[in-house]
Amino acid sequence: MVKLYLIRHAESEWNPIGRYQGLLDPDLSERGKEQARRLGEYFKDIDIHAIYSSPLKRTMNTALEIARHKGLEVVPEKRVIEIDHGVWSGLLVDEVKKLYAEQFRQWLEEPHNVRFEKGESLEEVYNRVREFLEYVKEKHWGQAVAVVSHTVPMRAMYCALLKVDLSKFWSFGCDNASYSLVHMERDRNVIMRLNITCYLGDLYVEAHKAL
């Protein structure tokens, strides 16, 4: 079995204002930095054998708060980077609603059919994270692995792990600085914990439903 901890990065500078980030690279907000510290403290006494992270600042700086308690290096992993939002990147949710109204509706109601102009499709994200999960299962059997990623690849990973259709993409909670625990077994995967944030206390902020 692999104990897989899936962790969403702490709050970025753009999360509170509802700005699409994609492959753009804002850092953690001041609240996000403290969220990451609390996350790191929580994981201090949990066995972790390897830490992977999307190479963007908001994920790497979250992962480093866990790694510094573990004596581990954070391994950059492009397969778990955020979806490329293409022309949406850098826009506020309200701006996207006005400029790309039909695709915004589709993103919320039919995410499996979305391909962002000058960006990625959800299916492409699904394929790369599924490949990464297979790699982790083969390389880290019998170990515990932390993966720090973003809301879109994480939800895609849940779909891949449970072998459910991407149309169910929005069915999984994914708040900033949350973690989920999945037991990857030989013939099935079991979500043991989902979207845990209890250690954040007064720093908890519910994720924007469109991000």
Residues labelled catalytic: 9, 150
Closest to 129 in 3D by CA, of 109, 159, 89: 159
Distances (CA, A) of 188 to 155, 160, 182: 18, 11, 10
Residue 186 corresponds to which tokens in the numbers above? 């030989």
What contacts 123, CB < 8 A, 6 or more positions away? 112, 166
Q: Are 161 and 91 in contact (CB under 8 A)?
A: no
Q: Can you read off the two tokens belonging to residue 76?
A: 């950059």
Q: What percent helix, strand, coil does the chain show, rounded to 5?
A: 45, 20, 35
Structure-token pair, residue 112? 């499996």
Q: Starting from the edge strand earliest in sequence, which strands make up the sheet with 74-76, in order?
A: 74-76, 50-53, 144-149, 2-8, 179-184, 189-196
76 - beta bridge partners?
Answer: 53
Return phi, psi of residue 92, to 5°: -75, 155
Which 3 state secondary structure label does DSSP give 145?
A: strand
